[in-house]
A and B are shown apart, each in its own frame.
Chain A
Amino acid sequence: MRPFGAIAAALLTASAVCAAEIPQADRRSGYSFMKADTKAMQDEDTANPGMLWVLDGEALWRRKLGASNKACADCHGDARTSMKGIAARYPAFDKATGRPVDLEQRINSCRSNHQQATPMPFESRELLALTAFVSRQSQGMPIETGADPQLAPFIARGGERYMQRQGQLNLACANCHDDNWDKKLAGSAITQGHPTGYPLYRLEWQSLGSLQRRLRACITGIRAQAYDYGAPELVELELYLMSRARGMAMEAPGVRP
């Protein structure tokens, strides 16, 4: 009786692993799938092109602008202390709108409400630079996104979307990034889809880009209609992915092929 029970239990676990989330111990950053030379690019600040955006962001942090003629630094002071650990908690719940916002949206709402300046377009050099500069202050810290209980329904919705098959290829995110992350797609590692390094420098983009840009590219790849930048669906996906990566180390600005 006992051996039969053990086999049945083993079969049950085996089938559960195939269809379910990646166990905590098996989680791997996209970094660990890269070749040594790409890792070296990320590891050294003077070789990491993402640092060019961080430098720009540092200059923007101190630039006074808008009707209130304030710089980020006038309220937040030295980012090295005031922004430490902030990016590791985003997307976060925004009381004003009652919804989660990602770091780019948070920076832009600060810009329109407090600096009284025009918000920066998504993927603009300035918004990426400020986001990279703020994210950099959390480098090496564990991701904490999703601790706020108000976020629970949004994480659940992001998770559903992650599992939802869509597009002409009829694929869900999970079909690749949960079930086949140890395999390759057209010679490239599939990876587990943990957004540990955003905004990051993709060699393919020859530029820094946001997590929303990466998600939109993936959605286009399965031949579905990508959500617009800033769409609630994208923010919920970002939120789900960041809470799924909770405890993993922040790498921004990362480098990926």
Chain B
Amino acid sequence: MASALINVPAKAKRGDIIEIKTLMSHIMETGYRHTTTGEAVPRNIITSFTCRFNGNEIFRADLFPAIAANPFITFFTTATESGKFEFEWIGDKGFSETASASITVE
């Protein structure tokens, strides 16, 4: 039941600095924990987050075991033209999720 919460302003003026906020559902299991019987709990984290705007990569982050569950990633960008933000999260065990949001720039 993975799901993402995205907050992108629907409208902006050309040249405005806008904040993009993303929240992805993920347990971010570190790989350093053991069960009560001593077996290692295998690592299961998101390893990479990418944001593209109209096909061009504008933000990328690598994620590591110390990052908390349900990673909340926010960043700023400049509104240049109307278009679509595409978000992608990739992780262990074949984890792959995408989301998108549109913006109108006037």
**Chain A interface (Cβ < 8 Å from any Cβ of B):** 41, 44-47, 49, 51-52, 55-56, 59, 125, 129, 203, 206-207
| A59 near B21: Cβ-Cβ < 8 Å | no
A46 proximity list for chain B (CB < 8 A)? 5-7, 21, 23
Cβ contacts B1-37/A at 8 Å (1 or 0 each): 1010111000000000000010101011000000000
Task: Give the number of residue pairs across the A-B interface with Cβ within 8 Å.
Answer: 40
CA A44 – CA B69 in complex, angstroms?
18
**Chain B interface (Cβ < 8 Å from any Cβ of A):** 1, 3, 5-7, 21, 23, 25, 27-28, 68-70, 72
| B69 near A47: Cβ-Cβ < 8 Å | no
CA A3 – CA B3 in complex, angstroms?
67
| A47 near B3: Cβ-Cβ < 8 Å | no
Q: Which A-B residue pairs are the 5 nearest by beta carbons?
A: A46-B7, A206-B69, A49-B70, A52-B25, A46-B5
| A52 near B28: Cβ-Cβ < 8 Å | no
| B3 near A44: Cβ-Cβ < 8 Å | no
CA A203 – CA B68 in complex, angstroms?
9
A55 proximity list for chain B (CB < 8 A)? 3, 5
| A47 near B21: Cβ-Cβ < 8 Å | yes
| B23 near A47: Cβ-Cβ < 8 Å | yes
| A52 near B69: Cβ-Cβ < 8 Å | no
| B7 near A44: Cβ-Cβ < 8 Å | yes
